[in-house]
Amino acid sequence: MIRRTASTALALLVLAGSSPAFATNGMNLEGYGAKSQAMGGTGMAYDTGNSAAMNNPATLGFYKEGTSELGFGIRGLHPKVKGEYGPYTDYSRSTAFYMPSISYIRRDGAISWGTAMFSQGGMGADYGDDSPLFAAGSSWNGVANVPLSGKTNRSEVGVGRVMFPIAWKVSEDTTIGASVDFVWASMDMQMDLDGAHFRRFTQGDGGTVSGSMYDSLGGYMMGGAISDINYARFDFSNDSHLIGRAVGYGTGFKIGLTQKLSKTVTIGGSYHSQTAMTDLESGNATLSFFGAGPAFANGPIPLSGKVKVRNFEWPATFAAGIAITPNEKLLITGDVKYIEWSSVMDKFSMSFTADDSVSNGDFRGKSIDVEMFQKWKNQTIWSIGVQYKPTRKLALRGGASFSMEPVPDLYTNPLFPATIKNHYTCGFGYQLNDVSSVAAAFSWAPRVTDTNGDGMVISHSQTNWALNYMHKL
């Protein structure tokens, strides 16, 4: 029975997929699992159930011996992103995302083990066709208000994990844990880059541009075939709600510890490694140029080819926490996390290689490499949580978390609004019967407003919720 249940759980992990997650601590979710989310995202030193696979695998040692649980979850994220530039205002159409989770955990003797699938996080926005924010820009030669493509400007990044945690209860007071994680990341992007920004990147201002395709563009401009560039448009996207067009895979690991100091105080900590990912790739991408000159006599030049998002990784995270149980009804928790965004989000690197299609003309087989500076800062997050049990079956929960946004104002991009700072959370857990329980959580992230280096004002607020069902086997 146990083997059959574990096999079923693994199959469901595959079916659950990896819905994009629009997160609120940079690209991380504020908490994993309804219990942790309701308690401010804490989870280092107390029992968060199967969500320990994402939080601290050592807390799986809180399971009772001989217990096994199958967990199902659904999470809803509802961001509200607005961009303002001069007299123009537009809202992102990406306002609702739903992410499943599934897990199976068992304890045999001193060992707890299992598997789980969670969405890790992500970010993005969608401004649709004919957005006033992206209607016009400046050309390579500085001509103001040249029209851009008029098409959707959109981004969507999603990261998911299948994890295989194990915990060893070394003694009555000490547990160590670890997890080996299979990680996948996907991305959609539809972005107009006006000629002025494109030129600035070639000069090392805000980014870089290089490659054989860029050299060919320079030849066209020197020869007079191109006298100006209005925009370059990168486009790789699909209609899937589970995974983006460009996909990469990799691994990561976690280690954790819990230590009971007294009958009422437990401490814990974990280290989540930086991932080791392949490039995110898609063989179905386009790069278009448009501007002035004979080369554009028939309209934009669309090139088909392959895109790679290079060096995309999830950062290392250090976390520590404390749990205090003054009595059997009350639990007070506190965590601090340190996320090393600067190691992985210094710049966004992308390359496009034109395929051998005849329609690509002189650009066949040529590549262009574009980097956009991000300069994210490392992020420290302080979280607090409380649980009160008025009855044996009901647990009431609340909490909050506080941090500084990792994205410098100068580089805040309306397509990558990872700017949320604080969260206020609440929720409950309820024991339905001897084998089944449910938990729910709600969190509110107040609006954060930034003005980037172009003078665009970007604001972002968010409401999130989670619902979990646990069944003992």
Residues 6+ positions from 215 with CB-CB distance below 8 Å: none
Domain range for 106 is 2-472
Task: Establish how many alpha carbons lie within 13 A of residue 470's alpha carbon, considering only the half-sphere containing its beta carbon.
Answer: 26
The CATH number assigned to the domain holding 256 equals 2.40.160.60
Q: Over the stretch 13-66, which tens digit does the pLDDT of each residue have?
A: 443 444 454 567 888 999 999 999 999 999 999 999 999 999 999 999 999 999
pTM assigned to the model: 0.92
Tokens 């991380």 belong to which residue?
28
Q: How far apart are CA 348 and CA 371, in angstroms?
A: 5
> What are the φ and ψ backbone dihedral angles of 94, each rounded to 5 degrees?
-85, 95
Give the chain's length.
Answer: 473
b/e per residue 205-229 (b: at least 16 CB within 10 A) = eebbbebebbebbeebbeeeebbbb
Number of separate domains in the chain = 1
| pLDDT, tens digit only, all 473 positions of the chain | 333 444 443 434 443 444 454 567 888 999 999 999 999 999 999 999 999 999 999 999 999 999 999 999 999 999 999 999 999 999 999 898 888 999 999 999 999 999 999 988 888 899 999 999 999 999 999 999 999 999 999 999 999 999 999 999 999 999 999 999 999 999 999 999 999 999 999 999 999 999 999 999 999 999 999 999 999 999 999 987 778 899 999 999 999 999 999 999 999 999 999 999 999 999 999 999 999 999 999 999 999 999 999 999 999 999 999 999 999 999 999 999 999 999 999 999 999 999 999 999 999 999 999 999 999 999 999 999 999 999 999 999 999 999 998 999 999 988 888 889 999 999 999 999 999 999 999 999 999 999 999 999 999 999 999 999 999 99
Task: Give the gyration radius of the chain's Cα atoms.
Answer: 24
